Structure 1
Amino acid sequence: MPLVTTGELVTGAAARHRAVAAFNIITLEHIEAVIAGAESAEAPVVLQVSENAVKFRYGRLLPLARAAVAAAERAAVPVALHLDHVQSDDLLRQAPGAGFSSVMYDAARLPYADNLAATRAAADWAHAQGLWIEAELGQIGGKAGQPALDAHAPGARTDPAEARAFVTDSGVDALAVAIGSTHAMTTRTATLDHDRLKRLAATLDVPLVLHGSSGVPDAELTAAVAGGIAKVNIGTALNIAMTGAIRTYLAENPEAVDSRKYLSVGREAMVRAVAGIVTTLTSA
């Protein structure tokens, strides 16, 4: 089916007090696995390409983006394409021509005033191109010119009042909030601050996003969706599934040299991971 937009998936999920899963993709196998897993769970999904993934692909966005678009157009479920954690304005400006309907603009490394100014400029440009835009806010720094505390630093938490001001002044369409999850976690042991999430949901009128969700247990995820999270980002969980399956296959088959053999094993492990996460979210 044709590509859908991230905005319609996320705002639709938020209106129903549900959440849509958004998976970071790196290879064609990631793309195929995310779509197959979503089809198995009969749920829509967002394919995300991060700036780091673009750097891995020799700095070229189009090859992976075009593969994602081609696969999405043949999917049996709605699929959207999202450009994730963009810091480069040059990369941001490539989004519309590459099939993306949305971007996450990440200026959180800057002092608050600079972060706000950069995000406002990015939002104005994105909206003029018809793009839906997401930003992220951790614990606000900016005191005496200091940068903001990274949203995934230990103890980082998004302040509801500051978040309201940031959303109003920046014009973003969604906000990723710091409530206890961390990027690149390889164990599912994160404990979320559900009281803070409740206050954020009551304060903000845009959909809320949870980053670093690979380290969040199922029960915490379902509680987060009930508390107002409408988009759940997952990346490391796919890499854990793929790498583990390939490592096991190669250990059991040391003579293997055909990459299709172990890549197919890794891909199927990711399909199972995607289906499990999507099922958890849709049943929340």
Structure 2
Amino acid sequence: MPLTATDEIIAPAYARNRGVGAFNVVQLEHAEAIVEGAERANLPVILQISENTVRYHGSLAPIGRAALALAEQAAVPVALHLDHAESEDLVHEAVRLGFTSVMFDASALPYALNVAATRAVTDFGHRADVFVEAELGEVGGKDGAHAPGVRTDPQEAREFAEATAVDCLAVAVGSSHAMATRDAVLDFDLIARLRAGTGVPLVLHGSSGVSDADLTRAVAAGMTKVNVSTHLNGIFSATVRRELDRRPGVSDSRKYIAPAREEVAAEVARLLGVLAGAPHPGRAAAAPFTTAVQTDAGPITGAANPAPSTREYS
């Protein structure tokens, strides 16, 4: 089917208090696995390409156009989102390429500058019929930006949403980017207050550190878009290691990348079911949302992201 507008996926989920999975693409195989998983679950999905991934590939167009092609031939609704862009030029390029939404991250700026920069991007995006996400209250990550006490203030969030006219808002409620353990402690009361106060769909970043049960609670409390990256990267990398251990003389990369793609597709299907409130029957007995993957040599925990970056997301 044709590429789907992000709003056409987010709006119904927001109205029905359902969650939508947004999964990060690092390489073509990630995008293929995500789309395959969505088709198995028969649920819509959002493909995300971050500014870090753009740096890894050297430019946006090749990986962006590949993701667009996959979205356009998918059997379920697929949207394409630019994730954590700090460059307005990159936002403009994504819109020109045909991305259906962008996240402009000016959260490191002082509040007034964040508002001004975000409003400019929102105005640009809306003129192009593109859905715009922003961030208020730094979510943090392995670069040390995260502090346990950082939370998005509901009153400030309401004022920010009104001043910037953003379509959805990423908020800090207790998760952190690039978590390899599932012990994030979310503030569900804060999520509910943010949803009631802002009037826009909320986005949960750092979801790889959140258990299945708490993902379900977060959606029930008011989260709509749920970003996952590190968890899938961990599964992909651990599967590659397992396959190389099994066949140390293999030289054909397809022999170990194809199983990794399959494992990611299966997990995407399962997670989409969790977020929609109905676990995917084909994965109901699978291990819960975790970064631990069993190999012949025992469990491998944590995640390995092939992108040479100092900051990871979700």
TM range (shorter): over 0.9
Aligned to 1:185: 179
Quick check: 2:107–2:138 contact (8 Å CA) kept in 1?
no
Is structure 2 residue 190 aligned with structure 1 residue 196? yes
Please name the residue that 1:117 is paired with.
116
In structure 1, the partner of 2:235 is 241
Q: Quote the residue 2:46 is aligned against.
A: 46
Which residue does the alignment assign to 2:246? 252
The separation in 2 between residues aligned to 1:69 and 1:153, in whole angstroms, is 36
Matches of 2:244 and 2:84, distance apart in 1: 33
What's the offset of the Cα at 1:153?
A: 3.3
Residue pair 2:138, 2:171 contacting (<8 A) in 1 also:
no
Q: Is 1:132 paired with 2:131?
A: yes
How is 1:1-284 mapped onto 2 (pairs within 5 angstroms)? 1-58=1-58, 60-138=59-137, 152-283=146-277
Following the alignment from structure 1 to structure 2, what is the Cα–Cα distance between the partners of residues 155 and 29?
37
**Cα separation, 2, equivalents of 1:112 and 1:240:** 34
Q: What do the CA deviations read for 1:85-115 (whole angstroms, capped 9, x no partner)? A: 0101110111222120110000011111111
**1:150-186 Cα deviation digits (max 9, x unpaired):** 5x43221111001001111111111011111111111
Q: Secondary structure at the match of 1:94?
A: helix
The count of aligned residue pairs is 274
- Partner secondary structure for residue 35 of structure 1: helix
For the 8 Å contact 1:38–1:44, the answer to whether it is kept is yes
CA distance in 1, matches of 2:41, 2:276: 9
For the 8 Å contact 1:96–1:131, the answer to whether it is kept is: yes
* 2:80 maps to amino acid: L
CA distance in 1, matches of 2:37, 2:147: 31
Query: What TM-score comes out, normalization by structure 1 length?
Result: 0.93
Instruction: State the partner residue of 1:143.
Output: none
- Deviation for aligned residue 1:139: 6.2
- Residue equivalent to 2:295: none
AA partner of residue 36 (structure 2)? A
Task: Output the CA distance in 2 between the equivalents of 1:245 and 1:104.
Answer: 30
CA distance in structure 2 between the partners assigned to 1:139 and 1:184 by the alignment = 14
Identity over the aligned pairs, expressed in percent? 54
Output the TM-score relative to the length of structure 2. Answer: 0.85
Gaps of 5+ in 1: 141-148
Paired letter, 2:132: I
Cα distance in 1, alignment partners of residues 193 and 90 from structure 2: 34
**4+ residue stretches of structure 1 with deviation over 4 A?**
none
Which residue identity does 2:175 align to in structure 1?
S
The answer to whether the Cα contact below 8 Å between 1:237 and 1:273 also exists between their aligned partners in 2 is no
Residue identity opposite 2:33 in structure 1: A
2-side partners of 1:153 and 1:77: how far apart? 38
Q: How far apart, CA to CA, are the structure 1 residues paired with 2:236 and 2:5?
A: 28
Distance 1:240 1:139, change over 3 A: closer
Equivalent AA in structure 2 for residue 32 of structure 1: E
Question: Separation in 1 of the partners of 2:184 and 2:251?
Answer: 38
1:283 maps to a residue whose letter is G
Which AA in structure 2 matches 1:132? Answer: F
Unaligned runs of 5+ in 2: 279-314
* Secondary structure of 2:83's aligned partner: strand
* 1:209/1:231 contact within 8 Å kept: yes
